[in-house]
Structure 1
Amino acid sequence: MKTNIFKTALVSILILSGCASVEPYNYNALQQAAPRSILVLPPMNSSVEVNAPYSYLSTISQPLAEKGYYVFPVSVIDSFLKENGLPTPAEMNGIALDKIDEIIGADAVLYVDIQDWGQKFQILSSVAVVQGQIKLVSVKTGEILWDSVISAQYNPNNNSGGGLVGALVGAVVSQIAGEISDNSPLVARMANTAAFNSPKRGLLNGPYKIEKNQK
């Protein structure tokens, strides 16, 4: 069921993103730096959902690895930083790059800002929303190598059959179900896929990318 949701919503995201004219990204900095390893810090949270940072963090390692980069284990890094006097994502995001270079040795850091997250109850629908920004920064120079918006939403009540009463009932049912099973991590994976694989602005493949015909 969730696989079908993922495919349907992802297709909608890609169609919508393809409708607008998008300027090609300038990859000069990324190509020159050629990072091999990426450290992902727990996201900053501008949303009202307190669980958003670590829920999102659980979705990010796989797409980065699939693009061909070594990703430092996010749970290990989180525990290490907490044990060394940095208990919050805000403090972790304030670490100087030279310290990251000295202690961890990553080539680049991925910074994330979650701006909106979670199930939103509207008049005639209940929508799972993920909105934020990501940027990849060189540890050596502090230069932004790549950045993107992460944005996706899923509305299970996109079927208008049943009229107004049906729409209202569907929205209430989705709201109740959303409290039991949050779709936000799934929507975050859709947003990551769309951002990383955008034809003109996606993240370039890293050195460890394995093409399908090479498996």
Structure 2
Amino acid sequence: MKRSLLLVVCVLLTACAAPAKRDMSAFMAASPRSILVVPVVNKTLDVDAPNYVLSSLPVPIAEKGYYVFPVNTTKFVLEQEGLYEGERVREMPAPALAKLFDADAILYVTIERWDARYVVLSTTVTVDFEYKMVSRDGTVLWEARQAMQWAPQNDSSGHPLAVLIGAVVKAAMARAAPNYMPLTQQANLRAIVLGPTAIPDGPYRPKTAK
């Protein structure tokens, strides 16, 4: 009994332990005010994924209090420089890229997963992103990785055949037209704003009244 109680206490202590504190000294030293979000690198087969992800990034960064260069304007300017793909943008030295826009920091994002997989009677939609922010001289300021999954919930009440048909229909709909944007927005929110990897508040974030 005592041994079981001790085991439970140990588990609770482990679960309640505070996450390791991240070293943000480089970020604080650089003290960026403006962040350039460049076209993302896409490691998936969905050719539309980069534009969806790119359009979702400015809001959480702005919410943290930073100026974000308009992503469509950024994309246009880079295309004029012959940089059409995220991979090509990565090849450009950070100082040259930052100087082109007079940016304090650059955010690179890689799409690791963006898919909907059918298993039995359910379709699981998954997004997985890798984030990396560097200063205008190329120093790494912040890194994070965030994955999110969603599967339609099936109603277990009612006639078994109706429940089965409903599950099949929901899975087929999710597979045919998966909605990635809510997951993408949640992933960005957890990585940048709310989660343990969140970046520090920027200079333009309103101060909350005490």
TM-score norm. by structure 1 comes to 0.80
**Greater relative contact order (Cα 8 A, min sep 6): structure 1 or 2?**
1
Measure, in 1, the Cα distance between the counterparts of 2:152 and 2:166: 12
Specify the alignment match of 1:157 in structure 2. Answer: 153
What pairs up with 1:35-54 in 2 under 5 angstroms? 35-54=32-51
Pick the aligned partner of 1:183 from 179, 184, 200: 179
Unaligned runs of 5+ in 2: 1-14
Based on CA coordinates, which of the two structures has the bigger radius of gyration? Answer: 2
**Residues 75 and 171 of structure 1: CA distance in aligned 2, closer, same or farther (over 3 Å):** farther
CA offsets 1:143-181 (integer angstroms, 9 cap, x no match): 21111112112222265446697356424434325534x
Q: Give the share of equivalent positions with the same residue, in percent.
A: 32
Measure, in 1, the Cα distance between the counterparts of 2:16 and 2:189: 17
CA contact (8 A) 1:137 1:143 kept: yes
Pick the aligned partner of 2:30 from 33, 47, 53: 33
1:39 positional shift = 0.6
Pick the aligned partner of 1:200 from 196, 200, 205: 196
TM-score norm. by structure 2 comes to 0.82
CA contact (8 A) 1:40 1:72 kept: yes
Q: Is 2:80 the counterpart of 1:83?
A: yes
Unaligned runs of 5+ in 1: 1-17
Indicate the RMSD between aligned Cα atoms, in angstroms. Answer: 2.5
Measure, in 2, the Cα distance between the counterparts of 1:174 and 1:124: 6
CA contact (8 A) 1:126 1:172 kept: no
CA contact (8 A) 1:124 1:168 kept: no
CA contact (8 A) 2:40 2:108 kept: yes
